[in-house]
Amino acid sequence: MRDFTLKSYRSLLEAFQSAGYHFQTFEELMTAPVEGRSVVMRHDVDELAWNALKMAKLEHALGIRATYFFRVVKQSNVPEVIERIARMGHEVGYHYEDLALAEGDEGNAIESFKSNLAYFRGFYPVRSVCMHGSSTSRYDNRLLWKNHSLSEFGLVGEPYLSVDFDKVYYMTDTGYAWDGGKYATRDIVESPFELKFHTTQQVVECINAGQFPHHALILAHTLWTDSLFQWNYLHFREFLRNHVKLLAKNNRLVAKLYGKLVDAYWKK
């Protein structure tokens, strides 16, 4: 059976609900965390914004509120999608990459961060931001916080800076697998939990068996799709991308070429 479809996404959400988990937004986790079992669904909308809308609708139909982080690039920043997602009661946050876009210039990065944040606040009273990995850039977007604080901008949290991952289990669907973390470059989290999943079905079985951690933050990108054509295309692309990323770790020429390709892809 195909995994990472809307159907398998639904099975994951329903497993959590049957096991008594409460779905919180990231903002709620920061400001008013619930006592009992809880899970935050965090969506980094790197691209394919219309897929995000489909996931948002599915969650909404199940009475779930999730958190969607949008980038400024056109593949993510689709006003109609952001508007509709906010209207369903989901949280909207800013998936920032200002330092990478400003080529490391801190002053320019802070200025663009401010104006982009204001832009997204036109859709939703944004209180959370989350860095984009910018895997091919030399600049780590989190360095924006070296001389600045979240509260300066009226923000309450940043997943990579504000969460105690000793208490909250972190899981991500990087590269169409729940154990694809080895392909990640910056979006890595140290975790003490001894759990390993590959398929969504394995996660569901763990939840059903009562063995899943009581608090979790789950990053799901927007690659979940029921369309056979898109699913095949994305699987092939992710397969290629993962292998090129691994190669690029040890080969500067491959890294450079890959960086150029990625830059060209995101050009506005």
Q: Which chain residues interact with Zn ion by CB under 5 A?
A: 44, 46, 132
Supply the minimum distance, in Å, between the C-beta of residue 95 and Zn ion.
6
Q: Which is nearer to Zn ion, 37 or 186 (CB)?
A: 186
- d(CA 234, CA 209) in angstroms, rounded, equals 31
- d(CA 105, CA 141) in angstroms, rounded, equals 11
Supply the minimum distance, in Å, between the C-beta of residue 18 and Zn ion.
30
Q: Which is nearer to Zn ion, 27 or 46 (CB)?
A: 46
Q: Which is nearer to Zn ion, 30 or 45 (CB)?
A: 45
- d(CA 210, CA 124) in angstroms, rounded, equals 36
Q: Is the distance from CB of 29 to CB of 169 less than 8 angstroms?
A: no
Supply the minimum distance, in Å, between the C-beta of residue 227 and Zn ion.
22
Q: What does the block give as tokens for 227?
A: 């369309």
Supply the minimum distance, in Å, between the C-beta of residue 210 and Zn ion.
32
Q: Which is nearer to Zn ion, 3 or 44 (CB)?
A: 44
- d(CA 210, CA 203) in angstroms, rounded, equals 11
Supply the minimum distance, in Å, between the C-beta of residue 36 and Zn ion.
30
Q: Measured between alpha carbons, how far is residue 164 from residues 42, 160, 194 in Å?
A: 16, 9, 16
Helices 252-266 + 228-250 axis angle, to 10: 140
Q: Which is nearer to Zn ion, 76 or 225 (CB)?
A: 76
Q: Is the distance from CB of 184 to CB of 178 less than 8 angstroms?
A: no
Residue nearest to Zn ion (CB): 132
Q: Which is nearer to Zn ion, 30 or 100 (CB)?
A: 100
Q: Which is nearer to Zn ion, 144 or 204 (CB)?
A: 144
Supply the minimum distance, in Å, between the C-beta of residue 261 and Zn ion.
17
207-238: buried (b, 16+ CB within 10 Å) or exposed (e) per residue?
Answer: beeeebbebbbbbbbbbbbeeeeebeebbeeb
Supply the minimum distance, in Å, between the C-beta of residue 137 and Zn ion.
12
Q: What does the block give as tokens for 133?
A: 């990995």
Q: Is the distance from CB of 218 to CB of 42 less than 8 angstroms?
A: yes
